[in-house]
A and B are shown apart, each in its own frame.
With several copies, the nearest count.
Chain A
Amino acid sequence: MVNEVLHLHLDGFDGPLDLLLELARTQNVDLSRISILQLAEQYLAVVEKFRQEAKTVRLELAADWLVMAAWLAWLKSRLLLPATRDGDKEAEEAAGLLQERLIELEAMRAAASWLSARPRLNQTVFERPVAENHTRIDRSLLRVDLSGVVLAYLRARQRGGRKRVYAPRVIRYWSAHQARAALGRLLGCQSPVGWRYLHSILPDLHGEPPVGRKAALAGALMAGLEMAKGGQLELRQEQHFGEIEWREKE
């Protein structure tokens, strides 16, 4: 509870630098001529007072304040040393740095209040909220070019060409029916008797796709088997996948 009072109290300032600036103002002189020693003492006194009031300090709440206090205590000790000592220059530089930071902070404070005092758009001054539209869209022109014509022509020809030749491809298989007719013709003429290769009855199938040749051979076999069953001819095959031969039944 007491800790919170300390915290809230110090939080009235935007951090240790803010408190320092406030303390510096109480010296009532130009910031460039303030006494850093006096300032350090004042700060330490303020922090010590809060410390006592708070009894214990929650470090996480006051870390910034304590770091600044420690640094100022060091600075104070150096500034109190006789001017001839080595630490003198170091301390003077540190004091100068603190002074510069305070001056800069004060300037930025002033800048913020200067900005705050400016007439603010849509708060103290108003602009015209919408623009008039003076743009006219001209759609009268055609966007075309020669390459478009050429492309369109190619496209048309391509589609038209495809269309013209498009027809389901008629695959003219040599059918079992045709094989039967061919075999029937051969059976009748009875010239050279004996075994003959079945594929010899096939027509010239050069240029036909392989599937066509296979279909023709299958047709011939079917016709041969049918006629063998009917007793018109004999078939034989010497080995697996060997040539199929036929001869007229005696």
Chain B
Amino acid sequence: MAEEDFFEKAVSLVEALIFASASPVKPQAMKDLLVSQDLAEWGEQLDIVLTEVAHRYADHAIALYAIAGGWQFRTREDVAPALQKIVEKPRRLSRSAMETLAVVAYHQPCTRAEVEAIRGVSLGQNVLDSLLEEGLLMPKGRKEVPGRPVLWATTPMFLSVFGLNTLADLPRRDELVAEESIGDEGAS
């Protein structure tokens, strides 16, 4: 088998592995697969393999995304409006819920009181409940202060739902505000 054929085989295997999974596939799982198929050298050059996999989908309605530390095929955004009518839509999150989620995303792990202090309003139980129900927030230990309040953090599901690879993909604060004043769509 020529060098090229080995590469093709590695690309096919990685493509199949990602496609066969319902959740994002971690690079380690791809490496394990390539090693098991005597393609360890391509496991070392996973970036090239993944680039080729993504390239295969250049003209497709599906694309390869880096999600929550793994890789996943998802439909492209431009086909979404058509599909939305067919696939059941999840509920939209309220503005308070989105803000609470944003505060936790940027300040995690943080307590309920901290979220309230930043937003300047008390946090309704239904808001917290809706975020927990969607699997976007999770408790992450307790803060060692009197009362030992629960600390909240975002879940891997949060990354997955918003198409982020890591929390570092969130825009920096200065980028946010700059964007805001340019767009100036305001929150009001």
Direct contact of A and B (CB under 8 A): yes
| B53: A residues at CB distance < 8 A | none
| A149: B residues at CB distance < 8 A | 98, 101-102, 105, 162, 170
Minimum distance in angstroms from B92 CB to a CB of chain A: 5
Interface string of B161-186 (1 = CB under 8 A from A): 11110000011010011111111011
Mark the stretch among A81-89, A156-164, A232-240 that contacts chain B. A156-164
The answer to whether A115 touches B101, judged by C-beta atoms less than 8 angstroms apart, is yes
The answer to whether A115 touches B105, judged by C-beta atoms less than 8 angstroms apart, is yes
Q: Which residue of B lies closest to A124 (CB)?
A: B80
Q: Give how many B residues have a beta carbon under 8 Å from the other chain's beta carbons.
A: 61
Minimum distance in angstroms from A249 CB to a CB of chain B: 47
Bound-state Cα–Cα, A164 to B178, Å: 18
Q: How many residue pairs between the two chains, A and B, have CB atoms under 8 Å in the bound complex? A: 261
Tell me whether A128 and B161 are in contact in the complex, defined as CB-CB below 8 angstroms, given that A17-B120, A142-B92 are known contacts: no
The answer to whether A144 touches B182, judged by C-beta atoms less than 8 angstroms apart, is no
Contact of A111 among B76, B77, B89, B106 (CB under 8 A): B106
The answer to whether A115 touches B188, judged by C-beta atoms less than 8 angstroms apart, is no
Interface string of B21-63 (1 = CB under 8 A from A): 1110000000000000000000000000000000000000000
The answer to whether the Cβ of A113 comes within 8 Å of any Cβ in the partner chain is yes
Contact of B74 among A103, A106, A112, A127 (CB under 8 A): A127
The answer to whether B99 touches A146, judged by C-beta atoms less than 8 angstroms apart, is no
The answer to whether the Cβ of B118 comes within 8 Å of any Cβ in the partner chain is yes
Bound-state Cα–Cα, A168 to B96, Å: 27
The answer to whether B80 touches A139, judged by C-beta atoms less than 8 angstroms apart, is no
The answer to whether A152 touches B102, judged by C-beta atoms less than 8 angstroms apart, is yes
Mark the stretch among A50-58, A72-80, A129-137, A184-192 that contacts chain B. A129-137
The answer to whether the Cβ of A125 comes within 8 Å of any Cβ in the partner chain is yes
The answer to whether A111 touches B120, judged by C-beta atoms less than 8 angstroms apart, is no
Q: Give how many A residues have a beta carbon under 8 Å from the other chain's beta carbons.
A: 73
The answer to whether the Cβ of A116 comes within 8 Å of any Cβ in the partner chain is yes
Bound-state Cα–Cα, A30 to B181, Å: 9
The answer to whether the Cβ of B95 comes within 8 Å of any Cβ in the partner chain is yes
The answer to whether B75 touches A125, judged by C-beta atoms less than 8 angstroms apart, is yes
The answer to whether B89 touches A136, judged by C-beta atoms less than 8 angstroms apart, is no
Bound-state Cα–Cα, A118 to B17, Å: 21
Bound-state Cα–Cα, A161 to B188, Å: 12
Q: Which of A178-227 contact B (CB under 8 A)?
A: none
Minimum distance in angstroms from A117 CB to a CB of chain B: 10
Q: Which of A1-54 contact B (CB under 8 A)?
A: 14-18, 20, 22, 25, 30-31
The answer to whether the Cβ of A243 comes within 8 Å of any Cβ in the partner chain is no
The answer to whether the Cβ of A119 comes within 8 Å of any Cβ in the partner chain is yes
Besides A161-B182, A161-B185, 9 more A-B contacts (Cβ < 8 Å) are A18-B121, A110-B176, A121-B161, A127-B22, A127-B72, A131-B22, A132-B75, A146-B162, A149-B162
Residues of A within 8 A of B (CB): 14-18, 20, 22, 25, 30-31, 64, 101, 103-116, 118-132, 134-146, 148-166
